[in-house]
Amino acid sequence: MSNLNQITIKGFKSISTLERFPLRALNLLIGANGAGKSNFIKALTLINTIVDKKLQLWIGREGGVDDILHFGQKITPELQIQWHYGHLTERFHYQCTLIPAQNESLIFAQEAGSCQKHEQSETFSIEGGHRESYLEQKAQHDSVAQCVLNPLKNWRVFLYHFHDTTTTAKMRQLCDLHDNVFFRPDASNLAAFLYLLKNRYPRHYQNIVEVVRLVAPFFDDFRLQPSRLNPEKIQLEWQHVGSERYFNAHSFSDGTLRFICLATLLLQPELPATILLDEPELGLHPYAISILAEMMQSAATQTQIIAASQSVTLVNQFQLEDIIIIEREDEASRIKRLSHEELNHWLDDYALGELWEKNVLGGR
């Protein structure tokens, strides 16, 4: 699937109104704690929830209707979201309106969409009253709905957060050897996925190894073999430079292990359609953050990356057009981009991160 080009959000958590906000291949969200970065990212992942017909489960996990609607249902009677996606010759859009119902649920008031090919546009709409999306049922007898649905079904939006690196974290444990269809958002199949890359995609695997060596010079290579006690399981092991001893994942520091996860995600041969990252710089050395930025920029030539960050060092590695600023104004999230015209007299003398620290960009 091609990139998500624009998104409209109305009445979702801290976001009161956001109209057709443009998204690029690489997007870095910055803003103070509580400004709304996480809510913006959640709105992007909601499309999978709707297409997979798991809306009611998601509502429960989010705390109910009043925690989803902007300041609750007494203030906000409905939630509207539109996703615009596609490329130059084919453009699609899907939108839905959700309203409160009994038993702490939201139901669909409307679903609609459009398909534009070669400057000809067709639309469809679905009347409301249902608890889960009717898009798939509509697509069975409506070619426009089918046209809109097909790319959505193939579009998996995952939020990758490798924050849990504790001793009990799944990425440090044994995992199923054949759990390698895709790299899981919590890196719980890290060893199995690296094992697949080593055997099927040796060039990409070697790229990962070499990048890890840049950040961890003591690291020689991974030792990836099925468990000798249970051949259906595998655990991450590695070799230290200048030593014949092998170590397991518990010997990696938190920062090193997080960086390995990020390198595996961003350097894999078949990248997800959209990658969402929440504070990927967490626990990384400044040099590792600069390498992370290079990997993100390279991956963005093949996929779409949307990342939330609190790191001045990371912001310094990007261009102004990559930055999305999120601030809290009048009890709502304000989401914007800045133009070169607004900052030309600053950019000659300061890096973007410095301007953020000085509150010239906002989002502090």
- Domains identified in the chain and CATH numbers: 4-156+319-357 (3.40.50.300), 159-299 (no CATH)
pLDDT tens digit sequence for 87-143: 878 899 999 999 999 888 999 999 999 999 888 899 999 999 999 999 999 999 999
Proportion of the chain above pLDDT 70, given as a percent: 99
Hunting for tokens 């895709």 — which residue is that? 182
3-class DSSP state for residue 220?
strand
3-class DSSP state for residue 89?
coil
Question: How is residue 172 annotated by DSSP?
Answer: G
pLDDT tens digit sequence for 67-80: 999 999 999 999 99
Supply the pLDDT for residue 124: 97
Supply the pLDDT for residue 170: 94
Q: Is 103 exposed, middle or buried (0-12, 13-18, 19+ CB in 10 A)?
A: exposed
Supply the pLDDT for residue 349: 84
- Parallel, antiparallel, or unpaired: how do β-strands 26-30 and 304-309 relate? parallel
Cα end-to-end span (Å), the chain: 34
Check if the beta carbon of residue 46 is closer than 8 Å to that of residue 52.
Answer: no
* CA separation for the pair 303, 276 (Å, rounded): 11
